[in-house]
């Protein structure tokens, strides 16, 4: 055998792992996966602001690791997707801890104990890049060691994962008394709470449940299907064969607004509002992988009249490869053999949801969704329909706040309003239907230059209003019409 050994450069590998596109809530969820796999009963997520010295930790009382197990856990891709895993193991590629952590910090330390014996290892990316070697440090330094003692307390078993030198904070001149940046840091706490409540809802609902706390507050499960509500319609579930396994698909038609209390209605809207939460919810070993998506099935797009349609899909862990589950556990591609079945189920669920909304004469509308998403607000009150420009939309707000009267901002705002007149919502309120509704900016697909230019104006407005670049792209990517087009916000 004639060959060359082409080992990857450590600095290049670090850069690749750091740019996989994790959001902070998704990265924290990857760490919580490991705690659940370690059979933890209590998991604590802490955010502590200290300017450039700010840190985040995830602590659990699971079974902990021996020193060789810790070294393996800290090794990139030590176990591939084909490795044998326990029924509790939520991992797949063996890179989740490292890729999630490197996306958020420059220094990752893991301390773990079995029977009171603690072992510690640290990745300092500055060291890796300087020496061009994967030097896994045994001594994290005095400051980190002091933090670990403070976090672990008197624990006799379990694991602490500590992130220091946080991305976006460590490499900039951030002072501890910078109130604006501090508020942005703690705003991530609410996003993380909501994400973990959704992703680990089934674990939080178990009789012997896993307790998850964020900054000391217990999480409550977020049930996208309102499965215990007396007015929810449960369509009988179907098993779809996939090789020697089967995929469980169960559709739900949620209650209309008039059958929900105001609190129930607000809660059921989720993080992305009713329009953004319709679709399939894909679970793997009870862990939510994908929430509110029509899985790229042709002809299925988000429309107001289908807001009550949500479908649970349970895939066996052994079918990971068939479903194209990615490293971040944030997207899936359904197997070709199941797509026609999923389309069939989606279509009759959507039709049932639309029929339910029409029969009640209600629109589960954008009125209670994220005020950043829509350029128009549509409401029906006392038999009258009102259309109002959403003054909380970032581009509208920027145009109103711009005392210099920037004509480019105003021009972009006007084009956005022209392209996003809420025809579908109005049509639903009048209980009619058509197939020729206008498609904003040409419909789904790669964004045209004009669309990108308007998106850039919205993005810049969000930054000016205090959003981080990552958060601004996330808001933009969930905002019609950009949520159905490809551009810098979702690349």
- C-alpha angle 482-487-491 in degrees, rounded to nearest 5: 115
Q: What gap in Å lies between CA 60 and CA 161, rounded to an integer?
A: 9
Please give the pLDDT value at position 363.
43
Please give the pLDDT value at position 161.
97
Strands of 144-275 (E only): list them. Answer: 158-166, 211-214, 217-218, 233-234, 238-242, 245-253
Classify strands 445-446 and 485-486 as parallel, antiparallel or unpaired. parallel
Please give the pLDDT value at position 447.
81
Q: What residue ranges do the domains of the chain occupy? A: 10-190, 233-363, 370-486
> How much is the pTM?
0.72
Residues 153-167: b if buried by 16+ CB within 10 A, e if exposed: eebebbbbbbbbbbb
Q: Find out whether 478 and 490 touch, Cβ atoms under 8 Å.
A: no
Please give the pLDDT value at position 143.
94
Please give the pLDDT value at position 438.
58
Distant-in-sequence, close-in-space partners of 130: CB < 8 Å, separation ≥ 6: none
Neighbours of 405 (CB within 10 A): 8
- Got the DSSP string for 126-147? HHHHHHTS---BS---HHHHHH
Task: Render each residue's pLDDT in the chain as its tens digit; 491 residues.
Answer: 788 878 778 878 887 777 777 889 999 999 999 999 999 999 999 999 998 899 999 999 999 999 999 999 998 865 554 445 454 444 444 567 888 999 999 999 999 998 888 999 999 999 998 998 889 999 999 999 999 999 998 898 999 999 999 988 876 677 777 888 888 899 899 999 999 999 999 999 988 778 999 999 999 999 999 999 999 999 999 999 988 889 999 999 999 888 888 899 999 999 889 999 999 999 999 999 999 999 989 889 999 889 999 999 999 887 777 887 777 666 788 999 999 999 999 999 999 999 888 765 434 444 445 556 677 777 666 656 667 777 778 877 777 775 556 777 777 877 777 677 776 666 655 544 444 455 666 667 788 888 888 888 888 888 888 788 888 888 888 787 787 788 888 77
- The 3-state DSSP class for residue 245 equals strand
Which residue do the tokens 């407005």 mark? 461
Please give the pLDDT value at position 424.
64
Structure tokens at 238: 């179907």
Q: What's 10-190's CATH class? A: alpha beta
Record: fold of 233-363? Ribosomal Protein S5; domain 2 (3.30.230)
Strand order in the sheet with 217-218: 117-124, 105-114, 158-166, 55-60, 42-48, 211-214, 217-218
Q: What gap in Å lies between CA 413 and CA 417, rounded to an integer?
A: 6
Please give the pLDDT value at position 422.
72
pLDDT in tens, 105-126: 999 999 999 888 899 999 999 9
Please give the pLDDT value at position 79.
56
Supply the angle between the helices 24-37 and 179-199 in degrees, to the nearest 10: 50
Please give the pLDDT value at position 364.
42
């Amino acid at each position: 055998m004639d060959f060359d050994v082409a080992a990857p450069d450590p600095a290049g590998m670090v850069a690749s792992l750091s740019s996989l596109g994790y959001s902070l809530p998704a990265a924290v969820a990857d760490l919580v996966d490991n705690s659940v796999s370690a059979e933890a009963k209590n998991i604590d997520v802490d955010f502590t602001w200290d300017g450039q010295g700010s840190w985040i930790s995830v602590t659990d009382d699971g079974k902990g690791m021996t020193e060789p197990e810790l070294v393996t856990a800290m090794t990139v891709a030590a176990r591939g997707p084909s490795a044998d895993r326990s029924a509790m193991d939520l991992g797949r590629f063996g890179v989740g801890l490292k890729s999630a952590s490197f996306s958020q910090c420059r220094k990752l330390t893991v301390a773990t104990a079995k029977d009171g014996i603690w072992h510690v290892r640290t990745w300092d990316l500055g060291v890796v890049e300087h020496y061009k070697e994967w030097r896994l440090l045994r001594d994290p330094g005095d400051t980190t060691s002091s933090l670990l003692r403070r976090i672990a307390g008197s624990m006799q078993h379990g694991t602490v994962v500590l992130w220091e030198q946080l991305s976006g904070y460590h490499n900039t001149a951030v002072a501890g008394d910078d109130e604006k940046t501090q508020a942005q840091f703690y705003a991530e706490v609410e996003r993380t709470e909501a994400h973990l409540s959704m992703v680990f809802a089934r674990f939080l609902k178990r009789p012997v449940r896993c307790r998850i706390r964020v900054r000391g507050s217990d999480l409550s499960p977020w049930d996208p299907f309102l499965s215990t509500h007396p007015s929810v319609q449960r369509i009988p579930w179907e098993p779809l064969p996939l090789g020697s396994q089967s995929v469980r698909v169960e559709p739900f038609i949620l209650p209309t607004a008039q059958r929900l209390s105001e609190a129930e209605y607000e809660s059921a809207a989720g993080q992305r509002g009713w329009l953004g939460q319709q679709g399939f919810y894909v679970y793997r070993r009870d862990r939510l992988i994908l929430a509110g998506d029509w899985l790229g099935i042709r002809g299925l797009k988000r429309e107001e009249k289908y807001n009550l349609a949500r479908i649970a899909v349970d895939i066996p862990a052994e079918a990971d490869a068939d479903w194209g589950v990615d490293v971040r556990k944030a997207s899936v591609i359904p197997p070709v053999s199941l797509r026609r079945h999923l389309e069939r189920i989606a279509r009759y669920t959507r039709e049932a949801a639309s029929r339910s909304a029409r029969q009640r004469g209600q629109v589960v509308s954008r009125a209670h969704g994220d005020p950043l998403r829509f350029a128009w607000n549509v409401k029906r009150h006392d038999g009258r329909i009102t259309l109002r420009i959403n003054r909380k939309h970032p581009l509208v707000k920027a145009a109103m706040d711009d005392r210099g009267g920037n004509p480019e901002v105003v021009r972009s705002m006007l084009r956005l309003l022209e392209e996003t007149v809420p025809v579908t919502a109005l049509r639903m309120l009048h209980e009619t239907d058509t197939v020729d509704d206008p498609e904003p900016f040409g419909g789904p697909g790669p964004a045209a230059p004009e669309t990108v230019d308007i998106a850039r104006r919205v993005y810049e407005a969000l930054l000016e209003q205090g959003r981080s670049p990552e958060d601004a792209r996330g808001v933009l990517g969930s905002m019609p019409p950009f949520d159905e087009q490809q551009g810098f916000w979702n690349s």
